[in-house]
Chain A
Amino acid sequence: MKKVSLAAVLAAGTVALAACGSGSSGSGSDGDIMIGSVHPLTGALAGVGALMNDGAKLAVEDVNADGGIESLDGRKLTLGEGDSKGAADTGQSEAQRLISDGAVALVGTYQSDVTANVSAVAERSRVPLVIDVAVDDSILEQGYKNTFRIQPDATSMGADGADDLIALAEANGKPVKTVSYIHIEGAFGQSVFDAFKEQAESQGVQVLKEVTYPGTNFTDATTQVREAAAGNPDVIVATGYYPDQLLVAQAVKALDPDIDALYGVANGAFDDGSFPNDAGAAGENVLSANYHYGATNDEVADIRKRFEAEFGRPMETASVLSYQAVMVIAQALEEAGSDDPEDVRDAIAEIEVEDPLLAFDGPITFDETGQNENATVIVMQTKKGKVEQVFPDEFTTSEPVYPAK
């Protein structure tokens, strides 16, 4: 009897979850070409999910305002909005729904496990998926033909993050010899850490400690930071999401260990627009190696300005990537001169996007696995309450402070 009641509760919970917040679907009619967007619009990641969805929305508006897809007689785009709720199975069913509604391509999804499921759907349905944000290497290791990723993968972020730290410290006359690393548990944190460690050690930098913390029920980072600081490293490196990494920065400030820098790699907090204000003194001079919108690019400045005017919130990097992903699909539609998903896929595979909106090494081009060949990270630093690009030179908006005390 009690078991029955528990089952009833669970069933009711599922129904209630399914009932709240169903996304509006695009028309997919003959006139408009639908692009499906799958992001977490409710749940713990709803904040960034909404920003990304709005980024995709703005891109669609811009294409339409610019006359639509010329090679298809100026046909307009529409955005089919899907809510993954942050859950892999929901993301999968939303992707299926959007495809059956007529989406010719998908963008998404912010989370690696959701993206893994959605890319499987894309492969089965032969509809291209352009990943805006999802870092896990393994997504593109499946041999899929329909999945493409604009941002760098976990391994290259870890490795490039290590290279940048070593070069930045060297350039400022304070070379790094030892680091300790704090990262969130799971595929994301682990793969970034493994790549960083391999790259750093190949250049003679010792990784003294690896401290991990759980992704849930984590409300105090003091012990973890203290453990990381125990071996007197030159630098503490950190990988994780916003709330937990904010705690890490605050604990570093409180414990005040004798380090040259707190350095984020693929860090969800340290280069976020809200971080300087939220962290206060704890955020000052914190370094972060991450992919980032091109702050020195005028087109990006214009897009971000219009985004804030329309949606009332600053456009973060993840949102710029969603915008970029839609633009990649729009360009592919233009070049294919067809709205058949398989033609669009072939056009994306051959695409060359000059002047990417991100601070990358070159145009967006995809290798045979679907990874953007020129995706890279740059180093940012919180200075006087603002996130500045400080390394390498070609992207700098401000000079780095190093040692970053």
Chain B
Amino acid sequence: MTDTTTSPPETQPDDGKTRSGRPSLPLLPLGIVGAVVVALLLVYTVGGKDSGLVTQSIVTGLLLGGVYALVSVGLTLIFGVLGIVNFAQGAMLTLAMYLVYQMVDAGGIPVYVATLLAIPVMFLFGVLVQAALLNKLTMADNEEGPLLVTLGLSLLIVNVLLMIFGGRPKRVPSSVEGSFEVLDAIVSWERLIAFAGALLVAGALTLILRGTSFGLSIRAVSANTQGASLVGIDVRRIYAMTFGIGSACVAVAGGLMVPFLSLTPTVGEQFTILAFVIVVLGGLGSVKGAVVGGLVIGLVQTVGALYLPGTGSLILVFAVFVLVLFFRPQGIFGVKQ
């Protein structure tokens, strides 16, 4: 984590459009899509790889990117509004997965129903964490405090899960196994559902932030905490609700991912670093940025793996990350400070 993540949030949750009061031209999204398409066409034409294999890696990359986006959306929201770098995001993801696992395993509830049930539970968990542990520090503008609290929280969650469930990998049977073929590429139903869920969550969040008075309050607090409290917004409540929503996002992510991952107490941690990369890449606090960043990173990782096997694809991810930040330090959808 560099200075970028620890600086206070200057961006708003619904990105650039409202700041200047007029909608900006969609040049940037078009540019990104254009660049990605050109890059993929190059891979097809002069990449020297079997076209079926390339299609497969693109499909896999997009589906993986959706999963990444899902994990990152909650992280970016919490950062954008509260200015908290939530180190516990990965551990909370794991917690949500075990919650779903427990409901499926002990209660016999189908996995996607269990996911729906996990949403309010994780929301409450998030609200409680913010209200009980973090609000005081956030209100006092303490920068390191919340960092340490979330770091401690993540260690606590991981070790409690280890104590209760042990470290042997666990599996959750899915209700929709199997896969289908599209354009010579295999698509697994479970991953497609996770992808659709990611888009749905991002869409719903955008709607809440833009279209409801509650969303307006969140944006107001994000833009100017003092001003918001002066016009009668209960800032503490908004903070708690926002952390709750961020936690509810990982409940969805956990539930949708658990059918295709082996569940161990540390499974969520591998997503933490990538989620930070995605959030910074997309622009801190931008929901749209988290989705686009997730898809880009997913594609870079899997298509890149065709040429740089092993850890090489991750090196490529970080190279793209550095490159983007070099030309656009605020991230793709971030606002210049």
Please give the residue numbers on chain A whose beta carbons come within 8 Å of chain B beta carbons, in ascending order: 2, 5-6, 8-9, 12-13, 16-17, 20-21, 42-51, 185, 211-217, 219-220, 222-224, 226-227, 230, 242-243, 246-247, 250, 254-255, 274, 277-278, 280, 313
Contact = CB atoms under 8 A, between A and B. Distances in A.
Contact of A227 (B6, B171, B306): B306
Contacts of A313: 166, 168
Given A44-B264, A49-B167, A224 B305 contact: yes
Name the prevailing secondary structure of the B interface residues. Answer: helix
A254 B262 contact: no
A226 to B, nearest CB: 5
A277 B171 contact: yes
B309 A211 contact: yes
A216 B272 CA distance: 12
Contact of B186 (A48, A211, A255): A255
Nearest to B179: A254
B166 A50 contact: yes
B196 to A, nearest CB: 17
Given A12-B151, A42-B162, A227 B168 contact: no
Nearest to B7: A2
A220 B190 CA distance: 12
B309 A46 contact: no
A40 to B, nearest CB: 8
Interface of B: 1, 3, 6-7, 50, 52-53, 56-57, 60, 63-64, 67, 143-144, 147-148, 151-152, 155, 159, 162, 166-169, 171, 173, 177, 179, 186, 188, 191, 260-262, 264-267, 269-271, 274, 301-302, 305-306, 309-311, 313-314
Nearest to A246: B262
Contact of A230 (B1, B53, B144, B151): B53
Name the prevailing secondary structure of the A interface residues. Answer: helix
A17 B264 contact: no
A214 B310 contact: yes
A224 B313 CA distance: 12
A20 B60 contact: no
Given A220-B302, A243-B264, A20 B186 contact: no
A215 B310 CA distance: 8
A9 B56 contact: no
A216 B309 CA distance: 13
18 contacts: A5-B143, A20-B159, A42-B159, A45-B167, A49-B167, A185-B309, A185-B310, A213-B305, A216-B270, A217-B270, A217-B271, A220-B60, A220-B302, A222-B60, A222-B188, A243-B267, A247-B260, A254-B179
B179 A185 contact: no
B311 A242 contact: no
Given A44-B266, A49-B167, A213 B309 contact: yes
B167 A46 contact: yes
Contacts of B267: 243
Contact of A47 (B57, B143, B169): B169
B168 A274 contact: yes
Contact of B262 (A215, A242, A255): A242
Contact of A46 (B67, B166, B179, B262): B166
A204 B260 CA distance: 38
B270 A223 contact: no
A223 B159 contact: no
Nearest to A243: B262
A8 B144 CA distance: 8
A9 B147 contact: yes
Given A9-B148, A219-B67, A246-B262, A214 B169 contact: no
Contacts of A2: 3, 6-7
B60 A185 contact: no
A227 B169 contact: no
A48 B309 contact: no
Contacts of B151: 9, 12-13, 16
Nearest to B177: A280
Given A243-B169, A274-B168, A213 B310 contact: yes
A293 B143 CA distance: 54
A48 B314 contact: no
Contacts of B159: 20-21, 42
A222 B261 CA distance: 14
A243 B261 contact: yes
Contacts of B60: 220, 222-223
Given A20-B159, A274-B168, 6 more contacts: A6-B1, A46-B166, A185-B311, A213-B310, A243-B169, A278-B262
A192 B187 CA distance: 31
A219 B64 contact: yes
Nearest to B67: A219
Nearest to A229: B53
A361 B236 CA distance: 69
A87 to B, nearest CB: 13
